[in-house]
Structure 1
Amino acid sequence: MDRRRVALLLAVVGALCLPAPLYLGWAADATAPPAQSSQIYAAEPVDLGTISDQKQFVDAHGSEVTFSAHQASERYSAGEYRSPNVTRAALKTAMREGSVTVDDAGARADLREIAADDEFVRDAYGDIAGYYRLSVEENGSLVRAENGSLDVVANATAEQAPRYEELSAGEQRTIDRIIDNSSGNDLGYRPLVNEPFVDQLPTPVWRGETLYSISVYGHVDDFGPGLGGFVAGIAVAAVGLVLLFLAAVVYLSERRTDSAGG
């Protein structure tokens, strides 16, 4: 075979190998099964009759029924509230003093919406301790905050928890896998990202008469199958460089031979 053709063949194959990290990484992602969540979940039964369980439960899931004053601020609200700073100040004053009147129309609208969504208010990152039952009256112009006990908040949170028997069969399977893998040495369950109910986690859930707190037990840094394809592609690209080098050697050798013969 003409060595120029050999050089051309080596060059073509080598050039095709160079972008291998890109197309092998893409192929690995495209053909891989659904990825797993980066979160590992575990379920723990909750006894609402004990203070320690109440505290852990409210710390984990109390945001289901509780609004924190810091959420109503220009820094955190991202335009969600009309008068975030006035709204936050009104909530904090109500927690300190029991009630407050509000004149700002935007803040009154904000407070009505907050009270419609959440039963309690707290100052999670401020200096006001505890939970307060929130009520907004007179079209938002009067805000009351009454000190709420931990057990009241815990029970209100539990009332909002999904019921196992009301979930779909797929959602029930996900719950079962988490609960079944929440004991023993290999603790925790890492679901697929497209498993039913995964988008609701972490959450409390009732299964029968038992209340479970499903929370994040661990985290996995997973770069996915694309990384493996990319690494394999680097090796292929290295082979491509070798082939291009050989193509150059063969071509130059053939030219020298032709020159010597001429």
Structure 2
Amino acid sequence: MRLRKLALLLAVVGLVCLPAPAYLPALADATSPPPKVSNSYRAETVSLANQSDVEHIVRRHGRAVSISVHQVGQRYSAGEYRAPNETRETLETAMRKGTARTAAVGAQADLRAIARNNTYVHDAYGEREQYYRFSVEENGSLVTARNVTLQRVANATVERGAYSYERLSPEARETVDRVLRNSSDGDGYRPRVNDAFVDRLPALVEKEGTLHSITAYTHVDDFGFGTALVVGLGVAGVGAVLLLVGGAVYAVAWWRE
């Protein structure tokens, strides 16, 4: 009788251990901190008085005030525009000739929307990356484009896109400070998905009169087996052994009777 009770106990414990690869990772997810984002970030000091920094600001943060014509095309716009190809062709013509017209109602609506959110247009995949100040007139039927310098684009990017450190929330300041503290060496700072300000990165931040450019430094793929899953597999293995031992003990008890 005692052997049967022991066999039953071993079987119950084994059955509890077998699904460990399923419930241990779920338990770990429920009790562990939120996961980290896929990028680590570093900050560097930049200045509008330095030409290389001007190029860096435009290249890394210029989307705050500009759009590349390739983003308008049907392949990249993901349904954002009503007439993407016509809109792109109109912008490209304006960049080449200075002005362009379109009679397509959809393109006119697209051009008005683009002008509301952007001041400059360029072609990131062109032979040379020239920026143009563009305007939309006559209800979207007329587009005018004029060459501008990178300095002007950088000035506008900082003026409209840079965050003031003093105006950030305490939580956002802490995220920025962690990036700044970890930028001198190592792999930068990799924030968690729920950290304040992480949804605005990359970003320009002005702190105490110094302009910092925060950009992605490395990309991390969190693939592979998690610790909880590995432990769960081990526990499941123990459970399988316990079931076998329990079965053997029960067989011995039955044979003795």
Interval of TM-score (by shorter of Structure 1 and Structure 2): over 0.9
- SS of residue paired to 2:163: coil
Work out whether 1:179 is the aligned partner of 2:180: yes
1:231 counterpart residue number: 230
Query: In 2, are the aligned partners of 1:40 and 1:217 still within 8 Å (CA)?
Result: yes
Per-residue deviation at 1:56? 1.4
1:250 counterpart residue number: 249
User: Per-residue displacement from partner, 1:204-229 (whole Å, max 9, x unpaired)?
Assistant: 111132211111122333369x9211
1:168 counterpart residue number: 169
AA partner of residue 153 (structure 1): V
Q: Map residues 39-188 of structure 1 onto 2, 5 A cutoff.
A: 39-127=39-127, 129-160=129-160, 161-183=162-184, 185-186=185-186, 188=188
1:193 counterpart residue number: 193
| TM-score (ref. length: structure 1) | 0.91
Distance between the aligned counterparts of 1:220 and 1:47, measured in 2? 29
Distance between the aligned counterparts of 1:116 and 1:10, measured in 2? 71
Per-residue deviation at 1:34? 2.9
Name the % identity: 53
Query: In 2, are the aligned partners of 1:95 and 1:128 still within 8 Å (CA)?
Result: no
Coordinate RMSD, CA, aligned: 1.8
AA partner of residue 21 (structure 1): P
Distance between the aligned counterparts of 1:82 and 1:232, measured in 2? 53
- SS of residue paired to 2:236: helix
Distance between the aligned counterparts of 2:171 and 2:256, measured in 1? 72
AA partner of residue 154 (structure 1): A
- SS of residue paired to 2:226: helix
| TM-score (ref. length: structure 2) | 0.93
Q: Map residues 6-45 of structure 1 onto 2, 5 A cutoff.
A: 6-45=6-45
Q: Which runs of 5+ in 1 are unaligned?
A: none
Q: Which runs of 5+ in 2 are unaligned?
A: none
AA partner of residue 55 (structure 1): E
Query: In 2, are the aligned partners of 1:28 and 1:228 still within 8 Å (CA)?
Result: no
Distance between the aligned counterparts of 1:153 and 1:194, measured in 2? 32
Distance between the aligned counterparts of 1:129 and 1:110, measured in 2? 23
Query: In 1, are the aligned partners of 2:40 and 2:187 still within 8 Å (CA)?
Result: no
